[in-house]
Structure 1
Amino acid sequence: MTRPNRAVEDPSLKFEWPVLEEYEGRVPFGTQSVDWEERINMDRMRRYRMRRVKQQMERMKLGAILSVNEWNMRYMTSTWNAYWTTPASGLRYALFPATKDSPILYEQGEIGYHARQMAPWLDKVKVAITGAGWIGRVMGPAGHEQQLKKFCQQIADDLKEAGVEKETLAMDTWDPGLVAEFQRLGIKVSPDGAAAMLEARRIKNRDEIECLRTAATISDAMFGAVARAIRPGVKESELCGIAHKTAYDLGARIYSGVFVTSGPFAWPNPRDESDRIIRAGDVLYMDTYNTSYMGYKTCVYRTYSCGKASQEAKDDYRLALDWLYDAINIIRAGVTTREIAEKWPSGPEVWKDIHVISEDQTAGSNWAHGIGLTLYEPPIIWREVSLNPPDIALEENMTFAIETQHGRPGKHGVRIEEMVRVTKSGVEVMTKFPVEEILEVPLV
């Protein structure tokens, strides 16, 4: 008996695996570069960021953006330098003419020798004229005047070469000396560079989101390392050191960030650490803020106790957790900043015991902030500003850190924070370290 030939009817012969819009198989990826899967596509991210800047220049009718701010420079040029060249130092800067496909990088000193070889996506890397930003103010009046004139002439020449010398030059760092000299040269200047760059950075592409996921993963590891080290006798500063080492071991950098606060000093939140010695029964929390992967920042809190936490601490934590997730659970594209802020109680009503009489005293407490290359990006969600019009609608692929806190003076403070991404239909919580309750670390 012969089997019928049904090969032509077999659907597997023509089946092709579909490309999934959301594939979670290996997210977040490892941090190595490999040939066998696409991970963070740096070239796609660079092109996306430059395109976003050009779109803002077109929207705002700008001829060019002059950036002295290090994070705006990183966004538009995809270059980075040592921390001593920051913040907004004037030691390096960038100019993005609207007529060009990539910005001009003006690199500090002889570092440009390396930068030119390492950044083939930039058409030009030139010498930075040291004289703008704060560095110009420390070289003496005569030196400052000399270098300021050279700086502005260099920019004026490059604007002319790009054909935009008659159009508006938007600056992201407003320097009155530069403004006066540019005006003397006949260049129209505007302070709108910062607004243009923040608007460009507001919506992340898939690669920026993956950088944030990886940063959040490293943050989770930092919380785990600190949990394993908590015991009576360890100092807040020691725990910070452990967190720093974990971050660097995993390929992150920390830009003036991370703190641990414990015991009665943790309420109200001082947002700093000391050499205070942890005692049995202390409640403590850590913020991994400004831990960065490829420049993309974290801002995440978790709360622990050294031994068993008191019932009062657990009750306060439950309240803060409810405030947090009442807000997170409504996040989706189209929801407004007002709707989120309405999920939080009035600061003067719940924190009378620490003399809160206005929401201005709650800045940084129950709130949310955009996060990306900088710790704070648009928008800020906070009762003092978000309950007032105009409402701001959330958009897909906005990324936020969202945080709440509570406590009792002289006893304890608790704080919780998650990093999230806005999706079409809801929210992705990028941080995964457990948050359901205070993490009670055994004494022995």
Structure 2
Amino acid sequence: MPYGQIGTDRMIGIDYASMREYRLARVREMMDREGYGIFITWDAWNMRYINGGYPTVPCRWAATMFSILCRNDEPLLSATTVMDPFRLKDYYPWMPADHVTKDIGGGKMSFTRPMWENFVQTILDMMEKNGVSGMPIALDACPAPELVRDMFQERGATVVVPVEQLYELRSIKSKDELACINISAAIAESAMYDVHKALRPGVPEYMMTALGIKRQYFHDTDEVVPPAIISGKRTNPMHCDYTDQLIMAGETVAVHMDAVCFNGYKTSLGRTFVIGKATQAQKDAYAVALKLMKDAMAAIKDGASTSDIVAAWPDSPSFWGYDDWDECRRFAHGNGIGLIFEEGPFFSCADRDREGQTLREGMVLALETWYGPKGADFGASIKETVLVTKEGCKPITCYPVDQIIECPLR
């Protein structure tokens, strides 16, 4: 069924309660499988995955908010987004009232043992209360990892860092997560269209970035990463930023709508434009980047491996005119995408000797390919977000891609 941005009384839309239940169940399964007694995360997106907790940017920077999931208990959110954190209880009705709690210590500004004492003791008391004392403590994105690990170990506790396990649990998306990702793709395409219409000689790159940001906010996104707008010589090799450089007639312009977001879920969309008529050399470069993208997508299906994707790409850096794989690692690459913009599995044209990871139905991948003659003043970049299905690869981003996009000089 179609999913809109707003739920109504006549359409179920996105079932956020079901999505929260799905994500929490995945975390509990991970803890059971790995034998963790308690899981604590300061990562903004993993917090959101566990209980919908949403740290604003200042709280992320200071790492003053975190989520806790102890076996035999419900998730706990330690919140600092308001001066009276108990006011947040009204915003999280799906959580027990006593599990949206005040700051218990810890964070980026906590850099001495006394500043972490209350936090460490609270965690140990919580584990004892829930009958899981002695089981490993999983710490994710801890702002003082060595100090906190030592303090737990001095008390006889085992500390683990569950990075790979978190990649695994987030990798398979529910239908409601996929609905969010599809909406984020539509927002990305809307922002791309605004930039597309405005591209012309004499405008600075940052002005196009501002247009992309504006459109995303008009769609009520809750996180915005500034689009990368790259023109002229900066497209070879490809940059990932924007400057005050003026866009000129005849130049290629790469527009990267990265991490465009709806309810936390992200997509990646990139297209290459030409101001005016494209030269044959520019068209040829784009055709190579497009073939690299299509070859990668043809290798994607449930049960395949990231090694199959890598095998579909050139087997030597000389294809791009380089001698060392490390110089062109990102010329053809990909990764998982969801609440986190870049997450596992990670793979690149340079990973020919690395063991691949199995692709499974429900995974969402972000792919990027690039090509440009070495030393030229132009290059072509394409970015797509795709869904792994049993039948193969289903594109989620659908902005025109079959040829380099010309922006007529009017």
- For Structure 1 versus Structure 2, the TM-score category normalised by the shorter chain is over 0.9
In 1, Cα distance between equivalents of 2:77 and 2:316 = 46
Name the residue aligned to 2:326.
360
- C-alpha contact 1:215 1:292 (8 A) present in aligned 2: yes
Check 1:357–1:115 CA distance in 2 against 1; reply closer, same or farther (3 A cut).
farther
Q: Secondary structure of the equivalent of 2:350? A: helix
The residue aligned with 1:185 is: 155
Pick from 368, 372, 388 the counterpart of residue 407 of structure 1.
Answer: 372
Q: Deviations over 1:285-341 (max 9, x none)?
A: 111112211111122111111111111010000011011011112311011111111
The residue matched to 1:299 in structure 2 has which SS? strand
Whether 1:427 and 2:397 are equivalent positions in the alignment is: no
Distance 2:101 2:152 in 1: 20
Q: Which residue of 2 aligns with 1:306?
A: 275
Question: After the TM superposition, which segments of 4 or more aligned residues of structure 1 sit over 4 Å from their partners?
Answer: none
Deviations 1:185-224 (A, max 9, x none): 33221122x3322211011100111111111110011110
Distance apart, 1:230 and its partner CA:
0.6
User: Where does residue 35 of structure 2 map in the other structure?
Assistant: 61
Residue 302 of structure 1: SS of its match in structure 2? strand
1:253-303 per-residue CA deviation (whole Å, 9 max, x = no partner) reads 444442100011211012111011111111101111122111111221111
SS in 1 for 2:387: strand
The TM-score, its normalising length taken from structure 2, stands at 0.95
1:365-406: CA deviations, max 9, x gaps? 201110001111211121333x33533221000000111001
Matched, 1:168 2:113: no
In structure 1, what is the equivalent of residue 102 of structure 2?
127
In the superposition, relative to structure 1, how do residues 255 and 158 fare at CA in structure 2: closer, same or farther (>3 Å)? farther
**What per-residue deviation string (whole Å, max 9, x for no partner) do you get for residues 31-63 of structure 1?**
112111121110000000000000001111111
Contact 1:347 1:362 in 2 (8 A): no
> Residue 110 of structure 2: SS of its match in structure 1?
helix
One of 346, 355, 360 as aligned partner of 1:395? 360
Question: One-letter code of the match for 2:133?
Answer: E
TM-score by length of 1: 0.88
Listed as ranges, the gaps of 5+ residues in structure 1 are 1-22, 138-143
Instruction: Give CA deviations for 1:151-175 in whole Å, capped at 9, x if unaligned.
Output: 1112222222222122111111251
2:77 matched to 1:105?
Answer: yes
Structure 1 stretch displaced more, 422-431 or 102-111:
102-111
The secondary structure found in structure 2 opposite 1:195 is: helix
Among the aligned pairs, what percent are the same residue?
A: 29
The whole-number CA distance in structure 2 between the counterparts of 1:148 and 1:184 is: 13
Q: Does 1:49 align with 2:23?
A: yes
**Distance in 1 between the 2:166 and 2:125 partners?**
23
The secondary structure found in structure 2 opposite 1:335 is coil
Tell me the distance in 1 between the aligned counterparts of 2:353 and 2:376. Answer: 34
Match of 2:122 in 1: 154
Structure 2 unmatched ranges of 5 or more: none
Please say which of residues 357-366 and 230-239 is displaced more in the overlay.
Answer: 357-366
Residue 347 of structure 1 and its aligned partner are, at CA, apart by 5.1
For the Cα contact (< 8 Å) 1:90–1:136, is it kept in 2?
no
Partners of 1:310 and 1:111 in 2: CA distance: 61
Q: Does 1:208 align with 2:208?
A: no
Structure 2 distance, partners of 1:94, 1:81, is: 10
Q: For the Cα contact (< 8 Å) 2:275–2:408, is it kept in 1?
A: yes
Q: Equivalents in 1 of 2:234, 2:130: separation in Å?
A: 56
Q: Give the Cα–Cα distance (whole angstroms) in 1 for the partners of residues 234 and 83 of structure 2.
A: 47
Q: Distance in 2 between matches of 1:347 and 1:34?
A: 53
Cα distance change, pair 261–392 in 1 and its aligned pair in 2 (3 A): same
Shift of residue 136, structure 1, vs aligned partner: 1.9
Q: What is the Cα deviation at residue 184 of structure 1?
A: 2.4
Q: Does the 8 A contact of 2:387 with 2:394 survive in 1?
A: yes
Which residue identity does 2:43 align to in structure 1? Answer: N
What's 1:19 paired with?
Answer: none
CA distance in 2, matches of 1:96, 1:43: 18
Q: Report deviation, 1:71.
A: 1.2
The residue identity in structure 2 corresponding to 1:116 is K
* CA–CA distance in structure 2, aligned partners of residues 364 and 225 of structure 1: 27
Q: Partner residue of 1:225?
A: 194
In the alignment, which residue of structure 2 is the partner of 1:117? Answer: 90
1:308-347 equivalences in 2 (<5 Å):
308-346=277-315
DSSP-derived class of the 1:200 partner? helix
Q: Is the 8 A contact 1:93 1:106 kept in 2?
A: yes
Q: What is the RMSD of the two structures over their aligned residues, measured on CA atoms?
A: 1.6
Counterpart of 1:282, as a letter, is E
> What is the distance in 1 between the residues matched to 2:316 and 2:184?
31
2: CA distance, partners of 1:82 / 1:205: 25
| Structure 1 residue identity aligned to 2:267 | T
Q: Distance in 2 between matches of 1:135 and 1:357?
A: 45
1:253–1:291 Cα contact (<8 Å) kept: no
Query: 1:391 & 1:259 partners in 2: Cα distance?
Result: 30
Report the Cα distance in structure 2 between the residues aligned to 1:418 and 1:256, rounded to whole angstroms: 17
The answer on 1:33 being equivalent to 2:7 is yes
Residue 67 (structure 2) aligns with:
94
